[in-house]
Amino acid sequence: MKFTTLFTVASAFVPESGLHNHGRDSTFEWAPPGPDGLRGPCPMMNSLANHGFLARDGRNVNLENAVFALNTGLNFHPDLATVMFHAATVANPEPNATFFTLGHLNRHNVLEHDASMSRLDAHFENNHLFNQEVFDETTAYWTAPVLDAQMLANGKLIRQINSRAANPDSTFTRRVDAFSTGEVAAPLIVFGDLDTGTAPKALVEYFFQNERLPYHLGWSKSTESITLQRAGLGSEIIHNATSLLTDRIVTSARERRDLHSGLYH
Ligand code: HEM
Ligand SMILES: *[C@@H]1O[C@H](CO)[C@@H](O)[C@H](O)[C@H]1NC(C)=O
């Protein structure tokens, strides 16, 4: 279940968070953050805040608010949302925190890590704003209108190579790899189709570049609840596709069903 460890970081009450539950919108219209809005390195958490599924100021992401946002915005099962929330409270520097802010997610090597698909390594300054040049490195390998697991995996691999080659502080632990794998799987899980292991590139690029859910491009949230198991399958598909060996790999749920053999651990 790589996805379950995927977005893990941590925290308590800090002044920027306040003690009250922030109200959520009822309309979920997209709007950019206001001048005091906190945003972080996660394009999805930023998007959920930009739509008002999370508080638009990016504060007070507690269990209730996280489950609401992931469930209402994306149809994540509450159990999956709960696991992800608990993994993320370490982002808050206060011990035993019961909430975090999107700003907390910027702390380097807590959850935020090197070799992101769309952010600079912390060594090169801003580790949390969308960066088109970095995204271009990734998307150079997104070579068709419909992304598959290998294209996504190739983008992941090139960012790891480029980070290791250019950044003397480059850090990419086994734990980071598990997180990163889940992040790279996110397009399949949210914007694509696990059964075929594909996702429309236009939806994924629009999401990254605008931190906005691509409703007007025809996307809507999954009608099927996204469970821990489904998310884990997405990670597994990406994990398999990152191998540079040419042995047969499983790159979709369909192939996995067809094989159901010893190929899988
Ligand atoms: C509790 C919920 C979540 C938390 C705390 C969280 C946190 C994070 C953090 C800290 C990063 C930065 C990692 C890096 O340095 O690249 C990140 C990246 C990312 N997250 Fe989230 N995330 C959450 C939910 C989600 C969901 C539901 C999705 C979509 C399925 C998602 C998609 C992504 C993607 C695609 C990236 C990679 C960005 C890049 O590589 O440039 N996240 N997330
Ligand atoms: C945090 O939780 C741990 C484990 O429950 C406990 O031992 C510790 O005292 C707590 N720390 C604070 C600051 O509340």
Q: For residue range 144-166, list pLDDT tens digits in order.
A: 999 999 999 999 999 999 999 99
6 lines ligand 1 (CB under 6 A): no
For the residues 8-16, what does the mean pLDDT come to? 28
d(CA 239, CA 181): 6
* Per-residue model confidence (pLDDT) at position 5: 39
* Distance between start and end Cα atoms, the chain: 12
112 lines ligand 1 (CB under 6 A): yes
Task: State pTM to two decimals.
Answer: 0.90
Asked, for residue 11, whether it belongs to a domain, the answer is: no
For the residues 101-123, what does the mean pLDDT come to? 98
Angle between helices 149-166 and 132-139 (to 10 degrees): 130
* Per-residue model confidence (pLDDT) at position 20: 37
Asked, for residue 196, whether it belongs to a domain, the answer is: yes
Give residue ranges with CB within 6 A of ligand 2.
95-96
* Per-residue model confidence (pLDDT) at position 204: 98
More confident residue, 17 or 122: 122
Which residue's C-alpha comes closest to atom 5 of ligand 1?
88
d(CA 225, CA 206): 23
Task: Report the DSSP beta bridge partners of residue 193.
Answer: 198
CB 211 within 8 A of CB 46: yes
* Per-residue model confidence (pLDDT) at position 155: 98
Asked, for residue 3, whether it belongs to a domain, the answer is: no
Number of folded domains that form the chain: 1
Report whether pLDDT(259) > 80. no
Asked, for residue 230, whether it belongs to a domain, the answer is: yes
CATH number at residue 119: 1.10.489.10
Identify the three-state secondary structure at position 44: helix
Q: Domain containing 76: what range?
A: 16-256
CB within 8 A of 234, min separation 6: which ones?
3, 182, 185, 186, 188, 189, 194
* Per-residue model confidence (pLDDT) at position 209: 98
Identify the three-state secondary structure at position 15: coil
Asked, for residue 53, whether it belongs to a domain, the answer is: yes
* Per-residue model confidence (pLDDT) at position 185: 98
Report whether pLDDT(21) > 70. no
Which residue's C-alpha comes closest to atom 9 of ligand 1?
42
Point out the ligand nearest to the CA of residue 9: 1
Report whether pLDDT(233) > 80. yes
Asked, for residue 263, whether it belongs to a domain, the answer is: no
CB 205 within 8 A of CB 139: yes
Asked, for residue 264, whether it belongs to a domain, the answer is: no
**Cα(81) to centroid of ligand 2, in Å?**
23
* Per-residue model confidence (pLDDT) at position 257: 84
Asked, for residue 9, whether it belongs to a domain, the answer is: no
* Per-residue model confidence (pLDDT) at position 6: 38
